[in-house]
Every structure is written in structure tokens, then in C-alpha cells.
Amino acid sequence: MTATAPDTADAADTSDAAAETAHFRFFELEVLRTRRLGHSFLRVTFGGGSLAGFRSGGFDQSLSLFLPPEGREDTVLPSTDEDTWFGAWRGMPDEERPVMRSYTVREQRRTPEGADEVDIDFVLHGDASPASRWAGRAVTGRRILAIGPAVAENKSVRFQPPATADAIWMYADETALPAAAAILERLAEGTAVRAWFEVPHEDDRLPLSTAAKADITWIVREGTGRERADRVPAALRSAEVPTAEAPYVWLAGEAGTVRATRRHFVQERSVDRRSVRFTGYWRLGASEEQLLAEAYAGRAPSEEPSSEL
């Protein structure tokens, strides 16, 4: 999309857009520590003085990380001004440009000492991607930049069940599991939840804390022999799901699998499509750079990026 100058009739829309832009700003994140969670997961805990202004909305709050190129320790951007940063970032030489990736906040907390910390869980798969490579080498003191929420209620929190929902149905693969775990932790006691979580290995079945009444099925790809395209729909079709009058469905992960899962709920379980929130975090067969190029095709330099990459 391209930015155009509004006429007088659009003045109200312009004000709304300015307010929306103010929902996000740059933060400097410093690596405090790392912890391996399972075969595929590494938790990186970030701190930094700027996090005092970070306002995670909870649930599936996303943000955009700027990771230094290979061979560099910290992130450097020529501009962090909301009107000029994008053009300046895109104009950097390839070998100097930080890699931008979208992640979800696993947890934000304030320590007894009054410092703010943010946990982000990375999926490790060697050096196959810049994010996995960076996380696998992250050490205390490394600094990166991020665009994150400055207000808690913002468009990057996608989990928005209506008050009338009488059940929550969920699917997430390993890339969306941190968001799903954060959602479960924040659900009210007794909330009826039916969830399917897909992970690469048996020991990626992480312990999940929730006060909800949750029935969770783990779908482990390791040694199943099934193709991704039919593994998850097959698990859903064979599952018993308690009757609900107004379920809210949240789906996130590989785009093709998410689409198939959405079709299952809408066509086979007769869920109102307006009650299904679905997000493709990545796409099988497409590189992260291809997806990023598609997401930003035609974006004007002055436009603030949503974290919906």
C-alpha cells in the first residue's frame, strides 16, 4: 500500500492513523540470560532501561526484532525516527542491514529490584535462518533493537475473544507455541479450552500453566511419517470436542496448515467464520526474506510497520 495526502474529509482518519502509529516505538533490548527449554526452544531474557515504557498487552503480543547481520554483535540502525527509519533501514547495504523478524512476547515482568524483563522464545534449527543463528549465539550483554508496543491495547494483540464465547479452541505449531502458552496463562479459571499443539520432537512438549479447564493434544512430527498437509487435519477430525454454542477459535503457525485447520472448523464443525482468528506465521517452501518482501511490497517509507509479518 502507498501513503497519500488526505483531503479535509479524511482529517479524522488521519488523526486515527497518528494515534495508531503512537502505539509502537523502538526499544533497545539487552540480553540478560538464555535458557534451553527443550530440543527446539531457547528462551532469551531481555532487559534494558527502555523497557520501562514497554506495554505488552499479554496474550499473543507481537513485536519486530532487528537482529545484527552475521559477524556483528549489536544492532545498528541509521535512524529510529518513526518517519524515516524504514527508508533508512531499506537503504542500508545488504551486508550491514539488520534482519527484521516478528516474534511474540512470552512474558513481561517487573523484578523485585524494579527492573523490567521480557522473555522471547526462539525455535532453534541450526543456522538455517538468521534468527535461529543469532539466538543460538546470544550471550549476556548483546543488544538489539525492536519495535514494540507503547500501549497495552494495540493491533498486534490478535487474541480477542468476545464476551459471549463459551469455549476456546486453539491450534499452534512450534512457532506459535509461545503465544499459545501466554494465552493459556492469562485465561480465567475454568475457561473451557480444547487445544492442539504441533511440535517437532517429543521433548518439545513444554509444561504449560493455566487455570483454564484445558484439554491439550500434542501432535509430535518426529517419526510420524505423515506429511504436514494432512497430519493436523487428521488429528482434528479424530478428536472429540465438547459441544459449545459460541466457540472462539485461535489458529497460528505455518500458513498452509492454518488454512486447512480453519477450513476444518468452519466447514466440518460449523463454526462461524467470524469467530475464527487465524495467522500464518510462516509458509512452507518460502524463505523468510521472500515473506518479508511480500509483506512490505509497496510500503511507503513513512508507514509504521505492524508486527503482522
**Chain segment 25-66, per-residue pLDDT in tens:** 999 999 999 999 999 999 999 999 999 999 998 899 999 999
Amino acid letter, residue 301: P
**Chain segment 182-239, per-residue pLDDT in tens:** 999 999 999 999 999 999 999 999 999 999 999 999 999 876 555 766 789 899 999 9
Per-residue model confidence (pLDDT) at position 110: 93
Is a pLDDT exceeding 80 seen at residue 303?
no
Residue intervals of the chain classified under CATH 2.40.30.10 are 18-154+287-295
Per-residue model confidence (pLDDT) at position 184: 98
Is a pLDDT exceeding 70 seen at residue 157?
yes
Contact in structure between 100 and 292 (CB atoms under 8 Å): yes
Give the pLDDT band of residue 22 (cuts 50, 70, 90).
confident
Contact in structure between 29 and 145 (CB atoms under 8 Å): yes
d(CA 37, CA 93): 36
Per-residue model confidence (pLDDT) at position 88: 95
Per-residue model confidence (pLDDT) at position 288: 67
CATH (one of 1.10.1240.10, 3.90.1200.10, 3.30.300.30, 3.40.50.80) for 167-282:
3.40.50.80
Average pLDDT, the chain: 86
**Chain segment 57-91, per-residue pLDDT in tens:** 889 999 999 999 988 999 999 999 988 999 999 99
Topology annotation, domain 18-154+287-295:
Elongation Factor Tu (Ef-tu); domain 3 (2.40.30)
Per-residue model confidence (pLDDT) at position 207: 95
d(CA 58, CA 279): 17
Contact in structure between 253 and 172 (CB atoms under 8 Å): yes
Residue intervals of the chain classified under CATH 3.40.50.80 are 167-282
Give the pLDDT band of residue 307 (cuts 50, 70, 90).
very low
Per-residue model confidence (pLDDT) at position 295: 65
Any residues with CB less than 8 A from the CB of 43 and at least 6 apart, and which? 34, 35, 36, 37, 106, 119, 120, 121, 122
Is a pLDDT exceeding 90 seen at residue 297?
no
